[in-house]
Structure 1
Amino acid sequence: MDDLVLTVIAEDQPGLVERVAKCISEHGGNWLESRMSRMAGQFAGILRVAVPTAAHAGLIEALHALQAQGIRVVVAPSGAEPERSWRMIQLQLVGNDRTGIVRDITRLLASHGVNLESLDTDVLPAPMTNELLFHAEALLAVPAELSLDELQGHLETLADDLMVELKLQPADRNA
């Protein structure tokens, strides 16, 4: 069995995930893990499946045939996990919405070798003022050799520049 990573996007519709799952199952594949979500009328997801090597071509053909139903699927082989020691850190950020917040935060993280494991963002009205606030929650893989105090200091300097509130804490391994 080999692992494949699939990305799926389609206009949201009932039965979409079932059609993808049916293709995988019919080709002897096993659905291992996924992250999927509906947003702005679209449904998107990423998933990892284990598939017998001999079934790759047939599965890829069947998944691409879903395009006729409006379901786009991109298939990639799974990558090797980096051999590095990481600490998992949860980042929470809230601030006035403005262009470039994600770019600025991710640029700083990348410059320190921090890997973004997951990112959830939203723009919501503030409770009292209805002013738009940007909210972000991220799971970060921080290299063991990077001091958390150093990372905190860099992030706090950026948070002051962006005028956002930022919180770092060890990630709950059970979440």
Structure 2
Amino acid sequence: MMGEHHLVFTVIATDRPGLVERLADAIAESGGNWVDSSMSRLGGEFAGIVSIEIPAGRLGDLHQHFDRLIADGIAITLRSEPQAAEEVAGISASLEVVCQDHPGILRDVTQVLTGLGISIETLETSVAAGSMQGERLFTARAELRLPEGVTAAAVSAALEETAGDLMADIKITD
């Protein structure tokens, strides 16, 4: 037996009914198991990232199914790992940022996080009308993985100056 492969792929396509079904069918018909995913509709496009496990001997089948989807205008980028990634060490924390929208918010916040060795596990951002004056409100929500020795309180303290500079409300919870 050649073993299982862990594959991660991204998919981007013009949003239309049946996209997820077609992906799920291609994976199932190839003997694969859909493990994890995150997908959403953004600006009329459907975008997602999917993690699957598939027997090594069936990779050719999967490529054939994906080739048909690609020919139909569905962009798929595949990354192969010989086995599933190990669990990440550290504790989880949640981050929420809310402020008036302007360029550079995410860069400023993520620079502080990177400096503390923090990994971002999930990130969702949006910009929406925030007030009667027509100002746009930026919101970011993230799930973080804090390295050993870094507490949510330490992250909050490290982000205080950035929050002041951005005039943002930044909350860290564990």
TM-score, normalised to structure 2, is 0.90
Q: Which consecutive segments of 4 or more residues in structure 1 shift more than 3 A?
A: none
After TM superposition, give the deviation of residue 98 of structure 1 in Å: 0.5
Q: CA deviation at 1:3?
A: 1.5
CA-to-aligned-CA distance 1:61-119 (integer Å, 9 cap, x gap): 3213311111011111246336x531110111110100000111112111111000011
Moved more, 41-50 or 145-154: 145-154
1:156 aligns with 2:160: yes
2:123 is the alignment partner of 1:123: no
In the alignment, structure 1 residue 48 sits paired with structure 2 residue 51? yes
Q: Is the 8 A contact 1:120 1:138 kept in 2?
A: yes
Aligned residues: 169
Aligned to 1:29: 32
1:144: which partner in 2? 148
State the match for 1:165 in structure 2.
169
Shift, 1:147, TM fit: 3.5
* Contact 1:64–1:72, Cα closer than 8 Å, also in 2: no
Q: Where does the alignment leave 5 or more consecutive residues of structure 1 unmatched? A: 171-175
- RMSD of aligned residue pairs (Cα, Å): 1.5
Q: Is contact 1:96–1:132 with CA below 8 Å preserved after alignment?
A: yes
**Structure 2 letter corresponding to 1:95:** C
- Percent identity (aligned): 39
Between 143-152 and 29-38, report the one with greater CA deviation.
143-152
In structure 1, the residue matched to 2:113 is 109
How do 1:50-65 and structure 2 match up within 5 A? Answer: 50-65=53-68
Match of 1:15 among 11, 18, 31: 18
Contact 2:93 2:152 in 1 (8 A): no
Aligned residue for 1:81? 86
Q: Which of the numbers 17, 33, 42 marks the counterpart of 1:39?
A: 42
